[in-house]
A and B are shown apart, each in its own frame.
Chain A
């Protein structure tokens, strides 16, 4: 089988600029995990259903397992590694910690990224809107109750932290 012609792409991930030469068939998830050694983005199904691999692509939540690295040439990507600053977890992560919003933690990066996108667009979502966002993320451990509590707590935290002083 002929090796496909490689292409050079430039992408900013969590604020750091990278230039890499990749095969066109390389998935975005594999590019982030293995080429850039950012393995916090987890791959649960490789066909876009479970949502564990969700990252932000120019601010939009996308499934990195069914995108190709060459598609994000020239873009900004945020992964779970981009949420904590200097090891200090952010209010969404803090809310999941305090509310036991994870067990094995494998799906968690996808949930955190999805909640990040939701709160960017809608800082005060209703339960129905929360369900809309989380409905595409699968967690096999928690039964979602503690995740829902975590998201509600995250909303409360981010509302406080973004309130005018």
Chain B
């Protein structure tokens, strides 16, 4: 039985020197000197360069494509169109099934930016020249752009009789009774516009199709290489073991580096070019219009059932989400994710989710950090604020009244997930104290006397961590569990190598591995080296995603370390002529407890395994190496209502933000920002703080700046960073943070998933603050982002 410690104190070290400490990251020296091998830094012998011709129309039939002029240009080695995709590939995976296309359009384009043809040439410059020599005749069709009309618009797909991709109402408990017996019912509408991940590095891939072997090797900026391998193999019609994926370090992902389209297109070009490697580096305009960068295009109607004392007795959420032109990749998954924390930190006993997903002529949605809860949390928290106003309660007090008590864990919410642990009152109290909340309210009151509009947003959220496929059963997932493996090897000199199935992405997991193994074996972090393996060489893995990898890789590493420990004890027992049970590993020594002189360094025991077979126990596996595949314990398959123990951990946070809205210009300024955050044990506190602050930045972008805008013809109006606005240092507040620690009872070292939490929380906090500021003017800002244009219109309407 492999033992994985639930507490840092249970590691085999007298004094942990690294884990739980703010150590420098092992990733950083390479990154700081420009040496890290991002995909566009890789060049292979004979490599060609791909450029992709994209649809200028939102909706059209393709009448003809003439590639002959492009094919005859010097330097052009291959040109592919939908015909090649039709001949050699299958439709990409979609969720739910049956709502997708091939990687290149065949007879019809369904969004601006959809790939129509691709070229492989001697350079990217030549390839882009060749795109201008491809002539496509389109017969435009009326585009479906209005989400609310999409259901009744002519179907985008011949094999579906409407544009409704998914529709179902989930009722968890007697919701009708809760609303019928409520003292008060509040109902409001909300709108969250499209935005998305925008990592600083766009997508990139180099594919090689070995035409003799029938295998494909693809290197790229892939978040989950095993997933990419399976999706690519399915689309290419190859057996899964014939597609090998090598994930390069990548310049951020935030969910979006998962679609196989680029891999399929470059693989086809490679096949057509006789097997030469073909590189495609997505540029930013491709990313914005046709990449994996658009998420959450949502219309909400939300109702709360309330008792007059502020107790929330029921929650109803009606969601209409515009998936765009297909459900490729993760499709409907992001609308299903809120099931993992549907009712937030509150003991709301019953809930209902009426979910409709439609297809339109816009870019298909992709995952973005948090997956689905950021909009969900905003509408829930905004409703709680409105309830407080309605009942004359303070926003902190109404939350406190409804929190799940810290003694109630593990706690099952109506939508089925179980929260592991938490102390929500402590987080609220911490923030009220840090911010001197009473003083802030006085400041707000004084400012209003001077005609200044300050607002306070005070919100609490749950971050489901360590994702599980069973959370997505309602949209077709049939798996439970997400394995993550690691191999740990000790060499003959006592140095350690850890082999894993993921590359660098920014969250510092290689550092965590070095911290863990250095403390486990009593060595320096520099004595541990982490090496990524490709998708076929690595143990079963998924990689980063759903706030899981910090916890999952800790489980895998500690599991492998425990198996190594058992081997070392067996050999040590032979050397010391005792029973293995008489020995322990501690501080890097195999030793007899309580007998100081009876000890051998673990490195010497490992070297014995490799170099002195004569000293080993009979039948001993002489390999100082172990592989362990961790998966979350206690997960359950979903029932017919989508209820499952899905995400293993429930981190929680309380954010308080003070904003000022200039009622003349409608500009929003963030004046102060406070965070109390509880993600259990912090493996590297500096990394946790960085994840939180980065999520705040993306949350500020979501609340105030970021928006993909399509016009009535389905043309994207925000196709550069001049129009799609990312937050800069001027917009992002420097936050005051406090770490609370309620360890998870269920996880390795008590850590909880925490990479997404601030993006779950900040948009809600900022929007609640804006609404608090403008309430005296009768303004309700229920549309995100609250851009100056939008707020200004609301202010003018309020005046009129």
Contact = CB atoms under 8 A, between A and B. Distances in A.
Interface of A: 1, 3, 23, 25-26, 30, 33-34, 38-47, 49-50, 52, 79-81, 83-84, 87, 89, 93, 96-98, 100, 102-109, 112, 131, 134-148
A148 B690 CA distance: 12
Contact of A106 (B24, B199, B689): B199
Contacts of B504: 104-105
Given A104-B199, A135-B730, A80 B34 contact: yes
B286 to A, nearest CB: 10
A103 B690 contact: yes
Given A3-B74, A44-B202, 19 more contacts: A1-B132, A33-B41, A97-B28, A102-B28, A103-B252, A104-B506, A106-B251, A106-B252, A107-B251, A108-B31, A109-B34, A134-B728, A135-B729, A141-B694, A142-B694, A143-B693, A144-B728, A145-B693, A146-B686
A113 to B, nearest CB: 10
Interface stretch (B6-14, B270-278, B695-703): B695-703
A100 B25 contact: yes
A47 B724 CA distance: 13
Interface in B697-743: 697-698, 720-722, 726, 728-730, 732, 734-735
Nearest to A80: B34
A47 B720 contact: yes
B40 A43 contact: yes
Nearest to A112: B32
B284 A97 contact: no
Contacts, number: 179
Mostly, the A contact residues are: loop
| Most-contacted residue by chain A among B36, B73, B129, B695 (CB, 10 A) | B36
B35 A40 contact: yes
Given A1-B73, A1-B129, A104 B505 contact: yes
A135 to B, nearest CB: 5
Contact of B729 (A43, A50, A108, A148): A148
A154 to B, nearest CB: 12
A164 B726 CA distance: 42
7 contacts: A79-B34, A80-B34, A102-B28, A105-B28, A143-B690, A145-B693, A145-B732
A89 to B, nearest CB: 6
B438 interface: no
Contact of A144 (B27, B36, B129, B729): B729
Contacts of A141: 200, 252, 506, 690, 694
B227 interface: no
Interface string B79-93: 000000000000000
B721 A47 contact: yes
Most B-side CB within 10 Å, residue of A46, A50, A143, A147: A143
A80 B33 contact: yes
B730 A131 contact: yes
A123 B389 CA distance: 51
A81 B35 CA distance: 8
Ranked 3 nearest A-B pairs via Cβ: A40-B34, A106-B251, A105-B31
A103 B697 CA distance: 14
B300 interface: no
B615 to A, nearest CB: 41
A43 B40 CA distance: 9
Nearest to B30: A105
Interface in B230-276: 250-252, 254
Nearest to B508: A103
B409 interface: no
Contacts of A131: 729-730
